[in-house]
Amino acid sequence: MCGILAVLGCSDDSQAKRTRVLELSRRLKHRGPDWSGLYQHGDCYIGHQRLAIVDPAFGDQPLYNEDKSIVVAVNGEIYNHEDLRSRLPRHKFKTGSDCEVIAHLYEEYGENFVDMLDGMFSFVLYDTNDNSFISARDAIGITSLYIGWGLDGSVCISSELKGLNDECEHFEVFRPGHLYSSKIGGFKRWYNPLWFSEAIPSGPYDPIALRHALEDAVIKRLMTDVPFGVLLSGGLDSSLVASITARHLSGTKAAKQWGAQLHSFSIGLEGSPDLKSALEVAGYLGTVHHEFHFSVQDGIDAIEDVIYHIETYDVTTIRASTPMFLMSRKIKSLGVKMVISGEGADEIFGGYLYFHKAPNKEEFHRETCRKIKAIHLYDCLRANKSTSAWGLEARVPFLDKKFIDVAMSIDPKMKMIDIEKNRIEKWILRRAFDDEDRPYLPKHILYRQKEQFSDGVGYSWIDGLKNHAEIHVTDKMMLNATHIFPHNTPMTKEAYYYRMIFERLFPQKSAILTVPGGASVACSTAKAIEWDASWSNYLDPSGRAALGVHDSAYEHKVSTKVFQDGHMNSQFEVRI
Protein backbone atom coordinates (compact mmCIF):
# COMPACT_ATOMS: atom_id res chain seq x y z
CA MET A 1 0.00 0.00 0.00
CA CYS A 2 1.09 3.55 -0.66
CA GLY A 3 0.16 6.75 1.14
CA ILE A 4 -1.46 9.76 -0.52
CA LEU A 5 -1.82 13.23 1.00
CA ALA A 6 -3.34 16.17 -0.86
CA VAL A 7 -4.08 19.73 0.24
CA LEU A 8 -6.08 21.44 -2.47
CA GLY A 9 -7.10 25.08 -2.76
CA CYS A 10 -5.53 26.20 0.51
CA SER A 11 -4.92 29.84 -0.61
CA ASP A 12 -1.26 29.52 0.34
CA ASP A 13 1.56 28.76 -2.07
CA SER A 14 4.41 29.70 0.26
CA GLN A 15 7.47 27.65 1.05
CA ALA A 16 6.21 27.36 4.62
CA LYS A 17 3.03 25.70 3.37
CA ARG A 18 5.00 23.31 1.18
CA THR A 19 7.10 22.37 4.21
CA ARG A 20 3.92 21.76 6.20
CA VAL A 21 2.47 19.49 3.49
CA LEU A 22 5.72 17.54 3.40
CA GLU A 23 5.45 17.10 7.16
CA LEU A 24 1.89 15.78 6.85
CA SER A 25 2.89 13.44 4.04
CA ARG A 26 5.80 12.05 6.07
CA ARG A 27 3.28 10.80 8.63
CA LEU A 28 2.31 8.22 5.99
CA LYS A 29 5.85 7.09 5.16
CA HIS A 30 5.31 3.70 6.82
CA ARG A 31 2.79 2.97 4.06
CA GLY A 32 5.31 3.74 1.34
CA PRO A 33 8.94 3.49 2.44
CA ASP A 34 10.38 3.18 -1.08
CA TRP A 35 10.06 6.75 -2.41
CA SER A 36 8.44 10.12 -1.70
CA GLY A 37 7.03 12.59 -4.21
CA LEU A 38 5.35 16.00 -3.97
CA TYR A 39 3.66 17.96 -6.75
CA GLN A 40 2.69 21.61 -6.36
CA HIS A 41 0.62 23.79 -8.68
CA GLY A 42 -0.14 27.14 -7.07
CA ASP A 43 -2.01 26.46 -3.85
CA CYS A 44 -2.62 22.78 -4.61
CA TYR A 45 -0.28 20.10 -3.26
CA ILE A 46 -0.28 16.35 -3.92
CA GLY A 47 2.08 14.13 -1.93
CA HIS A 48 2.80 10.43 -2.34
CA GLN A 49 4.65 7.83 -0.28
CA ARG A 50 5.37 4.85 -2.50
CA LEU A 51 5.43 1.14 -1.82
CA ALA A 52 6.85 -0.18 -5.09
CA ILE A 53 5.08 -3.38 -6.19
CA VAL A 54 4.68 -2.97 -9.97
CA ASP A 55 7.51 -1.37 -12.00
CA PRO A 56 9.62 -0.57 -8.92
CA ALA A 57 12.31 1.23 -10.93
CA PHE A 58 10.19 3.71 -12.91
CA GLY A 59 6.74 3.93 -11.36
CA ASP A 60 7.39 6.75 -8.90
CA GLN A 61 4.46 9.05 -8.21
CA PRO A 62 2.73 11.42 -8.75
CA LEU A 63 2.10 10.24 -12.33
CA TYR A 64 1.16 12.37 -15.34
CA ASN A 65 -0.37 12.37 -18.81
CA GLU A 66 1.77 13.24 -21.84
CA ASP A 67 1.97 17.02 -21.30
CA LYS A 68 1.75 16.84 -17.49
CA SER A 69 -1.51 18.76 -17.43
CA ILE A 70 -3.13 15.86 -15.55
CA VAL A 71 -1.53 14.76 -12.28
CA VAL A 72 -2.52 11.72 -10.24
CA ALA A 73 -1.41 10.08 -6.99
CA VAL A 74 -2.71 6.56 -6.37
CA ASN A 75 -2.75 4.05 -3.53
CA GLY A 76 -3.55 0.54 -4.69
CA GLU A 77 -3.43 -1.74 -7.70
CA ILE A 78 -5.26 -1.67 -11.04
CA TYR A 79 -5.37 -5.32 -12.07
CA ASN A 80 -6.80 -4.71 -15.56
CA HIS A 81 -4.36 -1.94 -16.50
CA GLU A 82 -2.95 -3.81 -19.50
CA ASP A 83 -6.43 -4.22 -21.00
CA LEU A 84 -7.19 -0.55 -20.34
CA ARG A 85 -3.94 0.50 -22.01
CA SER A 86 -4.96 -1.41 -25.13
CA ARG A 87 -8.09 0.74 -25.31
CA LEU A 88 -5.99 3.91 -25.36
CA PRO A 89 -3.88 3.50 -28.54
CA ARG A 90 -3.29 7.22 -29.08
CA HIS A 91 -1.81 7.73 -25.61
CA LYS A 92 1.88 7.37 -24.76
CA PHE A 93 2.76 5.74 -21.47
CA LYS A 94 6.01 6.67 -19.73
CA THR A 95 6.11 3.93 -17.08
CA GLY A 96 5.06 0.34 -16.54
CA SER A 97 3.01 1.35 -13.51
CA ASP A 98 -0.51 -0.04 -13.36
CA CYS A 99 -1.67 3.32 -11.97
CA GLU A 100 -0.56 5.54 -14.87
CA VAL A 101 -3.61 4.47 -16.86
CA ILE A 102 -5.83 6.61 -14.60
CA ALA A 103 -4.46 9.90 -15.97
CA HIS A 104 -5.11 8.84 -19.57
CA LEU A 105 -8.56 7.44 -18.85
CA TYR A 106 -9.52 10.80 -17.37
CA GLU A 107 -8.44 12.53 -20.60
CA GLU A 108 -10.67 10.22 -22.62
CA TYR A 109 -13.72 9.88 -20.40
CA GLY A 110 -13.65 12.70 -17.86
CA GLU A 111 -14.97 11.78 -14.43
CA ASN A 112 -16.93 8.79 -15.72
CA PHE A 113 -14.06 6.30 -16.02
CA VAL A 114 -13.83 5.02 -12.44
CA ASP A 115 -16.11 2.01 -12.93
CA MET A 116 -13.73 0.81 -15.65
CA LEU A 117 -11.06 0.17 -13.02
CA ASP A 118 -10.72 -3.37 -11.70
CA GLY A 119 -8.72 -3.25 -8.52
CA MET A 120 -8.30 -1.72 -5.11
CA PHE A 121 -7.52 1.97 -5.13
CA SER A 122 -7.75 5.43 -3.71
CA PHE A 123 -6.55 8.35 -5.78
CA VAL A 124 -6.42 12.12 -6.16
CA LEU A 125 -6.35 13.57 -9.68
CA TYR A 126 -5.69 17.25 -10.46
CA ASP A 127 -6.48 18.87 -13.82
CA THR A 128 -4.34 21.98 -14.40
CA ASN A 129 -6.44 22.94 -17.43
CA ASP A 130 -9.27 24.20 -15.22
CA ASN A 131 -7.78 23.77 -11.73
CA SER A 132 -10.33 21.07 -10.85
CA PHE A 133 -9.76 17.82 -9.03
CA ILE A 134 -11.43 14.53 -8.29
CA SER A 135 -10.78 11.85 -5.69
CA ALA A 136 -12.21 8.34 -5.56
CA ARG A 137 -12.13 5.19 -3.45
CA ASP A 138 -12.55 1.59 -4.57
CA ALA A 139 -15.92 -0.16 -4.53
CA ILE A 140 -15.67 -1.87 -1.13
CA GLY A 141 -13.13 0.34 0.62
CA ILE A 142 -10.18 -2.05 0.64
CA THR A 143 -7.81 0.91 0.61
CA SER A 144 -8.25 3.43 3.39
CA LEU A 145 -9.11 7.09 2.66
CA TYR A 146 -10.27 10.18 4.54
CA ILE A 147 -11.37 13.64 3.46
CA GLY A 148 -11.25 16.90 5.41
CA TRP A 149 -12.10 20.57 5.03
CA GLY A 150 -10.24 23.61 6.34
CA LEU A 151 -11.42 27.09 7.33
CA ASP A 152 -9.29 28.51 4.50
CA GLY A 153 -11.50 26.75 1.93
CA SER A 154 -9.11 23.85 1.37
CA VAL A 155 -10.04 20.22 0.79
CA CYS A 156 -7.61 17.64 2.18
CA ILE A 157 -7.34 13.98 1.22
CA SER A 158 -5.30 11.44 3.18
CA SER A 159 -4.85 7.68 3.28
CA GLU A 160 -4.94 7.84 7.08
CA LEU A 161 -6.41 10.02 9.81
CA LYS A 162 -2.98 11.06 11.03
CA GLY A 163 -2.49 13.09 7.86
CA LEU A 164 -5.49 15.27 8.73
CA ASN A 165 -6.03 15.18 12.47
CA ASP A 166 -4.45 18.55 13.27
CA GLU A 167 -4.76 20.16 9.84
CA CYS A 168 -8.50 20.23 9.12
CA GLU A 169 -11.38 21.62 11.13
CA HIS A 170 -13.53 18.66 10.08
CA PHE A 171 -12.71 15.34 8.48
CA GLU A 172 -14.49 12.05 7.89
CA VAL A 173 -14.22 8.65 6.24
CA PHE A 174 -14.25 8.90 2.44
CA ARG A 175 -17.10 6.59 1.49
CA PRO A 176 -16.26 3.49 -0.59
CA GLY A 177 -17.57 3.42 -4.14
CA HIS A 178 -17.78 7.21 -4.23
CA LEU A 179 -16.10 10.01 -6.13
CA TYR A 180 -15.59 13.55 -4.85
CA SER A 181 -15.58 16.24 -7.55
CA SER A 182 -14.53 19.84 -7.02
CA LYS A 183 -16.78 20.79 -9.93
CA ILE A 184 -19.90 19.83 -8.00
CA GLY A 185 -18.38 20.40 -4.57
CA GLY A 186 -19.53 17.02 -3.31
CA PHE A 187 -19.77 13.26 -3.67
CA LYS A 188 -21.43 10.96 -6.16
CA ARG A 189 -21.60 7.19 -5.99
CA TRP A 190 -19.93 5.49 -8.94
CA TYR A 191 -20.39 1.89 -7.71
CA ASN A 192 -23.98 0.73 -8.21
CA PRO A 193 -24.19 -3.08 -8.27
CA LEU A 194 -27.51 -4.93 -8.26
CA TRP A 195 -27.00 -6.25 -4.70
CA PHE A 196 -26.58 -2.76 -3.26
CA SER A 197 -30.35 -2.22 -3.10
CA GLU A 198 -30.60 -5.35 -0.90
CA ALA A 199 -33.30 -6.80 -3.17
CA ILE A 200 -33.48 -10.56 -2.66
CA PRO A 201 -31.73 -12.40 -5.54
CA SER A 202 -33.04 -15.62 -7.02
CA GLY A 203 -30.11 -16.81 -9.13
CA PRO A 204 -29.24 -20.51 -9.20
CA TYR A 205 -26.28 -21.89 -7.31
CA ASP A 206 -23.62 -23.03 -9.77
CA PRO A 207 -20.65 -24.35 -7.76
CA ILE A 208 -18.34 -24.43 -10.78
CA ALA A 209 -19.14 -20.81 -11.69
CA LEU A 210 -18.49 -19.76 -8.11
CA ARG A 211 -15.20 -21.67 -8.09
CA HIS A 212 -14.03 -20.10 -11.34
CA ALA A 213 -14.97 -16.61 -10.16
CA LEU A 214 -12.79 -16.96 -7.07
CA GLU A 215 -9.93 -18.51 -9.03
CA ASP A 216 -10.03 -15.58 -11.46
CA ALA A 217 -10.01 -13.15 -8.52
CA VAL A 218 -6.93 -14.79 -7.03
CA ILE A 219 -5.04 -15.14 -10.30
CA LYS A 220 -5.34 -11.45 -11.21
CA ARG A 221 -3.83 -10.60 -7.81
CA LEU A 222 -0.61 -12.40 -8.70
CA MET A 223 0.41 -9.25 -10.62
CA THR A 224 3.65 -8.27 -8.90
CA ASP A 225 7.31 -7.46 -9.53
CA VAL A 226 8.36 -8.12 -5.92
CA PRO A 227 8.42 -11.15 -3.55
CA PHE A 228 5.04 -12.13 -2.13
CA GLY A 229 3.21 -14.79 -0.14
CA VAL A 230 -0.12 -15.73 1.43
CA LEU A 231 -1.47 -15.29 4.93
CA LEU A 232 -2.57 -18.69 6.19
CA SER A 233 -4.59 -19.19 9.36
CA GLY A 234 -5.63 -22.73 8.45
CA GLY A 235 -9.29 -21.74 8.26
CA LEU A 236 -11.42 -22.12 5.15
CA ASP A 237 -10.96 -18.70 3.59
CA SER A 238 -7.19 -18.30 3.80
CA SER A 239 -6.67 -21.97 2.96
CA LEU A 240 -8.71 -21.71 -0.24
CA VAL A 241 -6.81 -18.58 -1.27
CA ALA A 242 -3.51 -20.35 -0.60
CA SER A 243 -4.60 -23.45 -2.50
CA ILE A 244 -5.65 -21.49 -5.58
CA THR A 245 -2.48 -19.41 -5.48
CA ALA A 246 -0.27 -22.50 -5.22
CA ARG A 247 -2.03 -24.10 -8.20
CA HIS A 248 -1.67 -21.13 -10.51
CA LEU A 249 1.63 -19.62 -9.42
CA SER A 250 3.86 -21.68 -11.70
CA GLY A 251 2.71 -20.01 -14.91
CA THR A 252 3.02 -16.41 -13.74
CA LYS A 253 5.66 -13.73 -14.18
CA ALA A 254 6.07 -13.72 -10.41
CA ALA A 255 7.05 -17.41 -10.42
CA LYS A 256 9.74 -16.78 -13.05
CA GLN A 257 11.18 -13.98 -10.93
CA TRP A 258 10.88 -15.41 -7.42
CA GLY A 259 10.31 -19.14 -7.80
CA ALA A 260 7.24 -21.30 -8.16
CA GLN A 261 7.09 -22.46 -4.54
CA LEU A 262 4.65 -20.36 -2.56
CA HIS A 263 5.56 -18.85 0.82
CA SER A 264 2.88 -18.90 3.54
CA PHE A 265 2.73 -17.12 6.89
CA SER A 266 0.85 -17.72 10.13
CA ILE A 267 0.97 -16.37 13.69
CA GLY A 268 -0.35 -17.45 17.07
CA LEU A 269 0.33 -18.16 20.69
CA GLU A 270 2.15 -21.43 21.35
CA GLY A 271 -0.22 -24.32 20.65
CA SER A 272 -2.96 -22.18 19.08
CA PRO A 273 -5.59 -23.70 16.76
CA ASP A 274 -4.49 -21.55 13.82
CA LEU A 275 -0.85 -22.61 13.99
CA LYS A 276 -1.76 -26.29 14.01
CA SER A 277 -4.22 -26.01 11.12
CA ALA A 278 -1.99 -23.68 9.08
CA LEU A 279 0.93 -26.08 9.35
CA GLU A 280 -1.24 -28.93 8.12
CA VAL A 281 -2.53 -26.92 5.15
CA ALA A 282 0.97 -25.73 4.29
CA GLY A 283 2.18 -29.33 4.31
CA TYR A 284 -0.68 -30.39 2.07
CA LEU A 285 -0.04 -27.54 -0.41
CA GLY A 286 3.74 -27.79 -0.27
CA THR A 287 4.34 -24.15 0.63
CA VAL A 288 7.46 -22.75 2.27
CA HIS A 289 5.79 -22.09 5.58
CA HIS A 290 6.79 -19.47 8.15
CA GLU A 291 5.27 -19.84 11.60
CA PHE A 292 5.54 -16.90 13.99
CA HIS A 293 4.82 -16.94 17.72
CA PHE A 294 3.92 -14.13 20.08
CA SER A 295 3.07 -13.98 23.76
CA VAL A 296 0.11 -12.26 25.37
CA GLN A 297 2.55 -9.71 26.80
CA ASP A 298 4.02 -9.07 23.33
CA GLY A 299 0.54 -8.23 22.12
CA ILE A 300 -0.32 -6.03 25.09
CA ASP A 301 2.94 -4.12 24.66
CA ALA A 302 2.00 -3.40 21.03
CA ILE A 303 -1.55 -2.17 21.70
CA GLU A 304 -0.75 1.55 21.61
CA ASP A 305 1.17 1.21 18.34
CA VAL A 306 -1.68 -0.85 16.92
CA ILE A 307 -4.28 1.79 17.77
CA TYR A 308 -2.04 4.51 16.35
CA HIS A 309 -1.77 2.67 13.05
CA ILE A 310 -5.25 1.20 12.61
CA GLU A 311 -6.97 4.35 13.92
CA THR A 312 -9.96 2.80 15.65
CA TYR A 313 -11.17 1.94 19.15
CA ASP A 314 -13.38 -0.92 18.02
CA VAL A 315 -12.75 -3.90 20.31
CA THR A 316 -12.88 -6.77 17.83
CA THR A 317 -10.76 -4.89 15.30
CA ILE A 318 -8.02 -4.18 17.85
CA ARG A 319 -8.04 -7.79 19.09
CA ALA A 320 -7.59 -9.14 15.57
CA SER A 321 -5.27 -6.39 14.33
CA THR A 322 -2.62 -6.94 16.99
CA PRO A 323 -1.45 -10.42 15.84
CA MET A 324 -1.69 -9.28 12.21
CA PHE A 325 0.39 -6.18 13.04
CA LEU A 326 3.07 -8.32 14.70
CA MET A 327 3.05 -10.85 11.86
CA SER A 328 3.37 -8.13 9.20
CA ARG A 329 6.58 -6.88 10.79
CA LYS A 330 8.04 -10.37 10.64
CA ILE A 331 6.95 -10.86 7.03
CA LYS A 332 8.52 -7.58 5.93
CA SER A 333 11.77 -8.57 7.65
CA LEU A 334 11.97 -11.51 5.22
CA GLY A 335 11.92 -9.16 2.21
CA VAL A 336 8.30 -9.81 1.26
CA LYS A 337 6.26 -6.78 0.16
CA MET A 338 2.86 -8.21 -0.78
CA VAL A 339 0.56 -10.86 0.68
CA ILE A 340 -2.78 -12.30 -0.36
CA SER A 341 -5.38 -12.65 2.38
CA GLY A 342 -8.84 -14.12 2.96
CA GLU A 343 -10.96 -11.22 4.23
CA GLY A 344 -14.53 -10.83 2.98
CA ALA A 345 -15.87 -14.39 2.73
CA ASP A 346 -17.76 -14.23 6.03
CA GLU A 347 -19.58 -11.07 4.98
CA ILE A 348 -20.52 -12.41 1.56
CA PHE A 349 -21.58 -15.90 2.66
CA GLY A 350 -22.88 -15.24 6.17
CA GLY A 351 -20.00 -17.02 7.84
CA TYR A 352 -20.23 -15.36 11.24
CA LEU A 353 -21.70 -17.70 13.79
CA TYR A 354 -24.74 -15.58 14.64
CA PHE A 355 -25.97 -16.23 11.08
CA HIS A 356 -27.03 -19.65 12.41
CA LYS A 357 -30.02 -17.82 13.90
CA ALA A 358 -31.14 -15.99 10.75
CA PRO A 359 -34.92 -16.55 10.59
CA ASN A 360 -35.30 -16.55 6.80
CA LYS A 361 -33.40 -15.96 3.59
CA GLU A 362 -34.55 -12.35 3.30
CA GLU A 363 -33.03 -11.43 6.66
CA PHE A 364 -29.94 -13.47 5.90
CA HIS A 365 -29.35 -11.68 2.57
CA ARG A 366 -29.96 -8.18 3.89
CA GLU A 367 -27.52 -8.79 6.72
CA THR A 368 -24.83 -9.95 4.27
CA CYS A 369 -25.42 -6.76 2.28
CA ARG A 370 -25.05 -4.63 5.39
CA LYS A 371 -21.90 -6.49 6.39
CA ILE A 372 -20.27 -5.92 3.00
CA LYS A 373 -21.20 -2.23 3.06
CA ALA A 374 -19.59 -1.84 6.51
CA ILE A 375 -16.51 -4.01 6.00
CA HIS A 376 -14.34 -0.98 5.21
CA LEU A 377 -14.75 0.07 8.85
CA TYR A 378 -13.62 -3.28 10.25
CA ASP A 379 -11.88 -6.13 8.40
CA CYS A 380 -10.67 -4.00 5.46
CA LEU A 381 -9.38 -1.39 7.87
CA ARG A 382 -7.57 -4.09 9.84
CA ALA A 383 -6.04 -5.80 6.82
CA ASN A 384 -5.02 -2.56 5.16
CA LYS A 385 -3.53 -0.71 8.10
CA SER A 386 -2.04 -3.61 10.06
CA THR A 387 0.06 -4.52 7.04
CA SER A 388 0.70 -0.97 5.80
CA ALA A 389 2.19 -0.12 9.18
CA TRP A 390 5.27 -2.05 8.02
CA GLY A 391 5.24 -1.26 4.29
CA LEU A 392 3.43 -4.47 3.36
CA GLU A 393 0.50 -4.71 0.94
CA ALA A 394 -2.49 -7.03 1.49
CA ARG A 395 -4.68 -8.13 -1.45
CA VAL A 396 -8.12 -9.61 -0.84
CA PRO A 397 -9.62 -11.70 -3.69
CA PHE A 398 -12.94 -12.38 -1.93
CA LEU A 399 -13.69 -8.66 -2.30
CA ASP A 400 -13.17 -8.69 -6.05
CA LYS A 401 -16.02 -6.82 -7.75
CA LYS A 402 -16.81 -9.60 -10.20
CA PHE A 403 -16.65 -12.30 -7.57
CA ILE A 404 -19.04 -10.36 -5.33
CA ASP A 405 -21.44 -9.97 -8.25
CA VAL A 406 -21.48 -13.75 -8.77
CA ALA A 407 -21.79 -14.62 -5.07
CA MET A 408 -24.46 -12.02 -4.30
CA SER A 409 -26.65 -13.10 -7.21
CA ILE A 410 -27.21 -16.56 -5.68
CA ASP A 411 -30.52 -17.26 -3.96
CA PRO A 412 -29.64 -16.69 -0.27
CA LYS A 413 -31.59 -19.79 0.69
CA MET A 414 -28.55 -21.73 -0.51
CA LYS A 415 -26.28 -19.81 1.86
CA MET A 416 -28.31 -20.45 5.00
CA ILE A 417 -27.09 -22.82 7.69
CA ASP A 418 -29.24 -25.95 7.72
CA ILE A 419 -28.02 -28.74 10.00
CA GLU A 420 -30.78 -31.08 8.84
CA LYS A 421 -29.32 -30.86 5.33
CA ASN A 422 -25.75 -31.05 6.65
CA ARG A 423 -25.04 -27.45 5.65
CA ILE A 424 -22.72 -25.53 7.96
CA GLU A 425 -21.79 -21.88 7.46
CA LYS A 426 -20.36 -21.03 3.99
CA TRP A 427 -21.50 -24.41 2.73
CA ILE A 428 -21.86 -23.25 -0.89
CA LEU A 429 -18.27 -22.04 -0.91
CA ARG A 430 -17.04 -25.28 0.62
CA ARG A 431 -18.95 -27.42 -1.85
CA ALA A 432 -17.68 -25.34 -4.80
CA PHE A 433 -14.13 -26.45 -3.94
CA ASP A 434 -14.97 -30.02 -2.93
CA ASP A 435 -13.26 -31.67 -5.90
CA GLU A 436 -12.88 -35.43 -5.52
CA ASP A 437 -10.58 -35.79 -8.52
CA ARG A 438 -8.14 -33.04 -7.61
CA PRO A 439 -8.81 -31.89 -4.05
CA TYR A 440 -8.06 -28.29 -3.16
CA LEU A 441 -7.90 -29.07 0.57
CA PRO A 442 -8.29 -32.01 2.95
CA LYS A 443 -11.93 -32.62 3.90
CA HIS A 444 -11.58 -31.66 7.54
CA ILE A 445 -9.98 -28.34 6.58
CA LEU A 446 -12.53 -27.66 3.86
CA TYR A 447 -15.28 -28.19 6.46
CA ARG A 448 -13.54 -26.66 9.47
CA GLN A 449 -15.89 -24.42 11.46
CA LYS A 450 -15.50 -20.65 11.46
CA GLU A 451 -12.98 -19.35 13.99
CA GLN A 452 -12.65 -15.68 14.92
CA PHE A 453 -9.07 -14.64 14.03
CA SER A 454 -8.51 -13.17 17.49
CA ASP A 455 -9.61 -16.53 18.98
CA GLY A 456 -7.76 -18.73 16.51
CA VAL A 457 -4.37 -17.25 17.40
CA GLY A 458 -4.93 -18.59 20.94
CA TYR A 459 -7.86 -18.48 23.34
CA SER A 460 -5.82 -16.88 26.13
CA TRP A 461 -5.21 -13.82 23.93
CA ILE A 462 -8.62 -12.27 24.59
CA ASP A 463 -8.56 -13.27 28.24
CA GLY A 464 -5.16 -11.62 28.58
CA LEU A 465 -6.48 -8.39 27.12
CA LYS A 466 -9.43 -8.38 29.49
CA ASN A 467 -7.20 -9.00 32.49
CA HIS A 468 -4.89 -6.18 31.45
CA ALA A 469 -7.82 -3.77 31.08
CA GLU A 470 -9.13 -4.83 34.47
CA ILE A 471 -5.90 -3.56 36.03
CA HIS A 472 -5.95 -0.20 34.25
CA VAL A 473 -9.67 0.65 34.33
CA THR A 474 -11.38 0.82 37.72
CA ASP A 475 -15.04 0.35 38.61
CA LYS A 476 -15.22 4.06 39.46
CA MET A 477 -13.98 4.95 36.00
CA MET A 478 -16.71 2.82 34.45
CA LEU A 479 -19.37 4.64 36.49
CA ASN A 480 -18.46 7.87 34.71
CA ALA A 481 -18.09 6.34 31.25
CA THR A 482 -21.24 7.93 29.84
CA HIS A 483 -20.00 11.39 30.84
CA ILE A 484 -16.40 10.93 29.73
CA PHE A 485 -17.32 9.25 26.45
CA PRO A 486 -20.90 10.29 25.57
CA HIS A 487 -20.51 9.11 21.96
CA ASN A 488 -20.17 5.32 21.59
CA THR A 489 -19.88 4.90 25.35
CA PRO A 490 -17.62 1.90 26.17
CA MET A 491 -19.57 -0.83 27.96
CA THR A 492 -16.61 -2.92 29.11
CA LYS A 493 -13.27 -2.15 30.73
CA GLU A 494 -11.45 -3.42 27.68
CA ALA A 495 -13.38 -1.02 25.44
CA TYR A 496 -12.73 1.81 27.91
CA TYR A 497 -9.00 1.07 27.87
CA TYR A 498 -8.79 1.23 24.07
CA ARG A 499 -10.88 4.39 24.00
CA MET A 500 -8.51 6.17 26.39
CA ILE A 501 -5.55 5.39 24.14
CA PHE A 502 -7.41 6.39 20.97
CA GLU A 503 -8.53 9.77 22.30
CA ARG A 504 -5.04 10.56 23.54
CA LEU A 505 -3.69 9.89 20.04
CA PHE A 506 -6.64 11.35 18.11
CA PRO A 507 -8.44 13.85 20.38
CA GLN A 508 -10.48 15.59 17.69
CA LYS A 509 -14.22 15.01 17.61
CA SER A 510 -14.00 14.19 13.90
CA ALA A 511 -11.66 11.31 14.66
CA ILE A 512 -14.00 9.89 17.31
CA LEU A 513 -16.89 9.98 14.83
CA THR A 514 -15.02 7.86 12.26
CA VAL A 515 -15.68 4.78 14.43
CA PRO A 516 -19.44 4.29 14.15
CA GLY A 517 -21.12 2.32 16.88
CA GLY A 518 -18.03 0.93 18.56
CA ALA A 519 -17.91 -2.74 19.50
CA SER A 520 -21.64 -3.47 19.27
CA VAL A 521 -21.83 -2.69 15.58
CA ALA A 522 -18.69 -4.70 14.81
CA CYS A 523 -20.32 -7.98 15.82
CA SER A 524 -23.83 -6.93 14.68
CA THR A 525 -25.14 -7.27 18.21
CA ALA A 526 -28.37 -5.50 17.35
CA LYS A 527 -29.15 -7.95 14.57
CA ALA A 528 -28.13 -10.94 16.68
CA ILE A 529 -30.46 -9.83 19.48
CA GLU A 530 -33.25 -9.38 16.98
CA TRP A 531 -32.75 -12.96 15.80
CA ASP A 532 -32.27 -14.43 19.27
CA ALA A 533 -32.97 -12.45 22.45
CA SER A 534 -30.49 -14.54 24.45
CA TRP A 535 -27.66 -12.64 22.74
CA SER A 536 -28.55 -9.61 24.89
CA ASN A 537 -26.81 -11.37 27.79
CA TYR A 538 -23.43 -10.92 26.11
CA LEU A 539 -21.43 -7.69 26.36
CA ASP A 540 -18.31 -9.22 24.85
CA PRO A 541 -18.28 -8.90 21.03
CA SER A 542 -16.16 -11.98 20.44
CA GLY A 543 -17.63 -14.55 18.09
CA ARG A 544 -16.69 -17.37 20.47
CA ALA A 545 -19.77 -16.63 22.55
CA ALA A 546 -22.03 -16.30 19.53
CA LEU A 547 -25.32 -17.75 20.61
CA GLY A 548 -23.54 -20.72 22.15
CA VAL A 549 -22.46 -22.02 18.76
CA HIS A 550 -18.74 -21.70 19.35
CA ASP A 551 -18.84 -22.96 22.93
CA SER A 552 -20.77 -26.06 22.00
CA ALA A 553 -18.22 -26.82 19.30
CA TYR A 554 -15.18 -26.61 21.51
CA GLU A 555 -16.43 -27.73 24.93
CA HIS A 556 -17.58 -31.02 23.53
CA LYS A 557 -17.49 -32.67 20.15
CA VAL A 558 -20.64 -33.01 18.18
CA SER A 559 -21.55 -36.33 16.67
CA THR A 560 -19.78 -37.41 13.53
CA LYS A 561 -21.85 -37.17 10.39
CA VAL A 562 -21.44 -38.85 7.06
CA PHE A 563 -22.17 -36.77 3.96
CA GLN A 564 -23.53 -38.79 1.08
CA ASP A 565 -24.66 -36.31 -1.57
CA GLY A 566 -22.07 -37.35 -4.14
CA HIS A 567 -19.75 -34.46 -3.27
CA MET A 568 -19.00 -35.12 0.38
CA ASN A 569 -18.90 -38.83 1.00
CA SER A 570 -16.00 -39.30 3.40
CA GLN A 571 -16.44 -39.43 7.14
CA PHE A 572 -15.17 -36.49 9.19
CA GLU A 573 -16.10 -34.53 12.27
CA VAL A 574 -18.45 -31.60 11.77
CA ARG A 575 -18.45 -28.80 14.34
CA ILE A 576 -21.81 -27.08 14.46
Mean pLDDT in consecutive groups of 10 residues from the start of the chain, 576 residues: 95 95 97 96 97 92 96 97 96 95 96 97 98 98 97 96 94 98 96 96 98 98 95 95 94 78 95 92 97 97 98 96 98 97 97 91 96 96 98 98 98 94 93 96 86 66 96 97 96 97 96 78 65 71 52 37 32 26
The DSSP-derived string for 111-165 is: GGGGGG--EEEEEEEEETTTTEEEEEE-SS--S--EEEE-TTS-EEEESSGGGTT
Of the candidates 2, 44, 369, 380, the residue annotated as catalytic is 2
Predicted local confidence at residue 257, as pLDDT? 80
How many Å apart are CA 310 and CA 318, to the nearest integer?
A: 8
Sign of CA dihedral 492, 497, 498, 500: positive
Predicted local confidence at residue 554, as pLDDT? 35
The CATH homologous superfamily for domain 196-572 is HUPs (3.40.50.620)
Q: Which amino acid makes up residue 466?
A: K
- The full set of domain ranges for the chain reads 3-192, 196-572
Predicted local confidence at residue 181, as pLDDT? 98
Predicted local confidence at residue 290, as pLDDT? 97
Predicted local confidence at residue 218, as pLDDT? 98
Predicted local confidence at residue 452, as pLDDT? 56
Assign domain 3-192 one CATH number from 3.40.50.720, 3.60.20.10, 3.40.630.10, 3.40.605.10.
3.60.20.10
Cross-sheet strand order for the sheet of 119-127: 63-64, 70-78, 119-127, 132-137, 178-181, 186-189
Predicted local confidence at residue 129, as pLDDT? 96
**Closest by Cα among 438, 478, 465 to 300:** 465
Whole-model pTM? 0.92
Bridge partners of residue 173, in order along the sequence: 146
Is 44 an annotated catalytic residue?
no
